[in-house]
Every structure is written in structure tokens, then in C-alpha cells.
Amino acid sequence: MVKAIVQHEHGGPEVMKWEDVTLGKPGPGEARVRHTAVGLNFIDVYFRTGLYPSPLPLTTGMEAAGVIEELGDGVTGLKVGDRVAYAGRPIGAYSEARIMPVDNLIILPDSIDDQTAAAMMLQGMTTEYLLQRTFHVKQGDTILFHAAAGGVGLFACQWAKHIGATVIGTVGSEEKAELAKAHGCTHTILYREEDFQEKVMEITDGKGVPVVYDSIGKDTFEKSLDCLSPRGLMVSFGNSSGPVTGVNLGILGAKGSLYVTRPSLMAYNATRPELEKSAGDMMELVSNGAIKVNIGQTYPLSEARKAHEDLEGRKTTGSSVFTV
């Protein structure tokens, strides 16, 4: 038996319970991983509430780091005792240990500790595909990134600075503005006090930006379109304020032949070579110091309810990690 966060219904943070669960043996192509650190991400909230449907009872969580305790038949390239990390499906990371497909596991270098690994896998690889593949950000580009002081935001600010791009970031407080600037954000906009569309146009001399990265959703979607230059790309990769619905495609033409995409990490890292390349690019920048992983807060895994309350209350900064 191991302990895990289990929910028997969808709803608020209170539905998550700390329970005993039975863990079997790994089958062919699988490994039993004992977790040492687990990442907290907003997508965990979507599964908890049922916005992203998943069968009950449910253990959520999409990234963690740990140690291989046992291997199933036919596994090569890994051994018991290897330090590994993962991000993505199948969900179930909110547990002391679990069975994982070995194709999802990435061996960790000695230069990256377990908490850093648990904080960086999903957010770091999300940043990789957003800045290198969804829209290829180049030196000299100016981009708009919402929630610049969040986990993905701090990764993106540093990665974009490494490329030589200028980041305009929206934040919710002066404290978060300073944090974003310290991680490479050139211009910060306090979205509760300022009109971010007007500020973007002021900063860009009325030209707008070629790409907007938006994890907020319905509250920022329409005004974000007005921040784009002609033929610009709106990247809607999250919906912390609620999902975007009822989009009239005609407005894309009226606002300058714009493009909109709703990408996901699972689609961009659907194959093992894509996963290895994405993780490798990200870990190289972390290992050489170009990107520093900001762990703003840690919680015991048994206190997942409190962590979700803080996350949804916008009380967190940077990445959040559960200790196991």
C-alpha cells in the first residue's frame, strides 16, 4: 500500500483526500517509480473540477521526479536506482509511488536535483514547444506573455531573453512584476490597474506583437487579439479564468487575418524522439544556468488541498512542488 491523493467526485479542493491505495507490480514496458517530488500545475485543477473529464476515483497530477524501484519485463536502457522524471499522461502523480510506462521517463543528470526536476518538466517542456515550435521566437522579436510571474511565465521570460527577444508580461501585483523582471521580462503590465492592450500598443509604437501567449483564457482572449500585428498568432494554451467559447472566426479576418491555436504538450511531444528533444533542450538550458527554476513554494503532498486553494487564489509565484 502507498498513500495518494484520491478524489471520488469532481469539485473544489475539498474533494481531494489522503488515502491508502494498492500498487501492483510493473508489467512489460513499465517501471515502479518511488516519487521524491511532485509538481503542481493548473492543469491539475482542470482534472479535479471535471473541466477535463477523467474517470473516478481519480488521482491527478502530471509531473514528478523519483527513483526506479522495479522494472517490468522487456525494459532496456533503465535500471533500478535510476533517477527519473516525467510530465504528461497518464495522470496520477499525486502519490508516493506509481507504475509508469518507461517511454514517458527521462533520466535526470546529476546537475539537476529532484525538486528542480519536478518543478521544471511540464512547465519547461511547455515553454520549449511554445517558443520553439508553436511560434519560433527569434532574436529581436517582441512577444506578449500573460501571467509572466507564473511557473511557465518565468521559464518563458528567461528562455526568450536567452534567445534575444523582448518580453512584455502581464502580472497581478508589483511583487510579481519585480519577480518577472528579475527573470528577464523587459516590460511588465499590472493588468488589474492598466489596460494591457493600450500598454502593448504604447510599448510597440502601435505595431502590436507577432504572437501572444495566453494561459488565462476567457478574461484576456478578445483583448489579446487586439495586441497582435497583422497575421499575428494567438496561442491560447490554458484557461485559468475559464475556457474560451463561442469564438466568431470572422473577427480574425477583421482584425488583420489573425491565427489562433490551442496547443498541448501531449500533442507536441507525442513521440519518444519529440519528448527526448524537448526535455533535452530544456535540461541543457537549466544545467548551464541560462534558466533558473524558481520554486516559489513547497507543500507536503498530503496538503494538496491547501496548495490548490493557493494556486486558484493566485497566491503562488513561480513553480510549486509537493514533497513526498
Let me know whether 116 and 157 are in one domain. Answer: no
pLDDT of residue 89: 87
In a domain? residue 275: no
pLDDT of residue 244: 85
pLDDT of residue 243: 81
Decide: residue 250, CB within 10 A, 0-12 exposed, 13-18 middle, 19+ buried.
exposed
Mean residue pLDDT of the chain comes to 95
Q: Residues of the chain with pLDDT > 70: what percent?
A: 100
Selection from 273, 318, 260 nearest residue 291 by Cα: 318
Q: Residues of the chain with pLDDT > 90: what percent?
A: 91
CATH number at residue 99: 3.90.180.10
Domain that holds residue 71: 2-122+282-323
pLDDT of residue 177: 96
Mean pLDDT in residue range 136-149:
97
In a domain? residue 274: no
Residue 151 has pLDDT above 90, yes or no: no
pLDDT of residue 74: 94
Let me know whether 302 and 212 are in one domain. Answer: no
* Number of neighbouring beta carbons within 10 Å of residue 232: 22
Return the percent helix, strand and coil in the chain, to nearest 5.
Answer: 35, 30, 40
Question: Looking at 10-14, 83-87, 244-248, which range is the least confident one?
Answer: 244-248
pLDDT of residue 314: 85
pLDDT of residue 300: 98
- Find all residues with CB under 8 Å of 156, minimum gap 6, and list them: 127, 130, 131, 145, 148, 167, 213
CATH number at residue 146: 3.40.50.720
pLDDT digits (tens, 9 = 90+) for 258-311: 999 999 999 999 999 999 999 999 999 999 999 999 899 999 999 999 999 999
pLDDT digits (tens, 9 = 90+) for 158-179: 999 999 999 999 999 999 999 9
**Assigned C-alpha cell, 68:** 526506479
User: How many folded domains does the chain comprise?
Assistant: 2
pLDDT of residue 109: 94
pLDDT of residue 240: 81
The model's confidence at residue 188, banded by pLDDT at 50, 70 and 90, is very high
Let me know whether 240 and 183 are in one domain. Answer: yes
pLDDT of residue 214: 96
Residue 29 has pLDDT above 90, yes or no: yes
In a domain? residue 267: no
pTM as predicted: 0.89
pLDDT of residue 284: 96
In a domain? residue 219: yes
In a domain? residue 245: yes
pLDDT of residue 85: 98
124 vs 117: CA distance, rounded Å: 10
Let me know whether 297 and 255 are in one domain. Answer: no
Residue found under cell 508516493? 96
In a domain? residue 193: yes
Let me know whether 224 and 249 are in one domain. Answer: yes
In a domain? residue 21: yes
pLDDT of residue 209: 98
Helices (H) and strands (E) counted in the chain, each on its own, are 10, 15
pLDDT digits (tens, 9 = 90+) for 211-258: 999 999 888 999 999 999 999 999 999 888 888 888 899 999 999 999
Exposed e or buried b per residue across 170-207, where buried means at least 16 C-beta atoms within 10 angstroms of its C-beta: bbbeeebbebbbebbbbbbbebeeeebbebbbebbeee
Let me know whether 162 and 224 are in one domain. Answer: yes
Let me know whether 25 and 109 are in one domain. Answer: yes
In a domain? residue 303: yes
Let me know whether 139 and 255 are in one domain. Answer: yes
